[in-house]
Structure 1
Amino acid sequence: MDEETEGSDYVPVGQRLRAAREEKGLSLDDLASETRIPHRHLESLELGEWDKLPAPTYSIGFAKSYAGAVGLDRGEVGEQLRTEMGGGYRNDSSTVEHFEPIDPARTMPKWLVLGAIVAIALVVLLFTWLRNSSLEEDTGTPVNSVAEAPANLPPQAAAPVAANPTGPVVLTAVEPAWIEVKDGDRTLFAGILDTGKTFPIPADAAAPTLKAGKPEALRVNVGDAVAPPVGPAGQVASNVSLKPADLMRAGPQAAAQPQPQNAVAQ
């Protein structure tokens, strides 16, 4: 301590604060309500119990708020308290002046903040997964599996039958067409295929079949070859086999006749 603190007339900062408070007729509860500093910290300031206070920067901020509430000089009280606490924790005075610390016990724990962020992220991911799953159940095929095809497609016409048709089977809508594609009990697609959209038959489909409300609105490709129509115009085609060999073998007349894997509803 300096000479002033060693003199017999020296009054500790806690006693000065208490005397000023009592002179104004205020209780510690009144000050706690006005300054929003916990009662226990105000009491520790008056008694000089530094070990019961938070870090010096917080304690000095509390003392300056207390001083302002009871009419003492904030800066003088802050410097005196810093000296009494040892003067080993000095920050820029302007920073302390404008930052009135709050009770550390009231701050939200970091683990709680991080937990809230993780919980929100999990909710978003779960919502996205449920939405995509719902769309797949409605259409019977993964979302966005319907591809774009060139616009202004010509109506399907009979093409030369390839001896050994190879390549993927692709359905293309030359105009809006309702279709249902199944592989056994599994629905691969069900809904409207808009003009220019394509739907490739999955390579792992064992026995894919087609039901089309408007066969003439579809063009079916087996690799680079165009298959014959899957059914007569104006009639619903049902249980049409989408195996490459069956598609290339069937023609307008054959498609209208009942066949084991390529039957068209009359």
Structure 2
Amino acid sequence: MRARIDISEIESETKIRAKYLRALENEEWNLLPGPTYVKTFLRTYAEALGLDAKLLVEEYKLRHERLSDHELARPIGPTRATSGGRGRGPTPPVLPRSYLVAGVLLALCVVIFILSRVGGKDHKSSSTPATAGTPATTTTAARTTAKPAATTKRKAKPASKLIRLKIVPTGTVYACLAAKGQPGARINGATLTPSTPPKTFKSSRFRLVLGNENAELRVNGKRKAFPKDAVTTSGVFVQITKKGLSALPKALRPGCTG
């Protein structure tokens, strides 16, 4: 929503159906095919938005992923094959599945209880003022203080260096577009009309030539006006970078065969 990206645009880019994308946004996991699909969808969706995919998947695992029914139903310990032969002892009884499920749930409750107690102690230790006579408290406080810094660094990593450019024709217009690091023209001298479906291009820098002003530029979802010095009687010549839009020098204008 902050980037003003429509859900249908993400659906086209990631090949994930819109209803699944909405389910991810609303955390309606029961509407998704299964945990494996959820993690795959989360990773693909995050990469499309320039977020930390690994961090989102790890958070989903910690908050929502549970043992599968197959793992809960699997018997504990090896089973012996029965045989009609003489001289063999009786087959050991197998515990009912409900007992196994109850045992696993009880073990999980115990683990959660222990972790909550340990976490409470760590929190209390970190909130106590450090003194020279309490080195253990100082170490815990230092470790607790350093942890958010590492988390902040990991979240700052996905700052995208790419620009999302969309050219929306408002009339008939000639267009020639080149992108940095991508061979050939992205739009090779094509004539665009309002009926032409607009495409989204990604790069760190664009060089654009238009035959006239019959087009709107949307950079990262925001509408941008042409620089005054980029509009001439022979056309519009624009250079697009993360710093903004500027007039494209004649020596840098792309050549298109169309």
TM-score scaled by structure 1? 0.28
TM-score scaled by structure 2? 0.28
Max Rg structure: 1
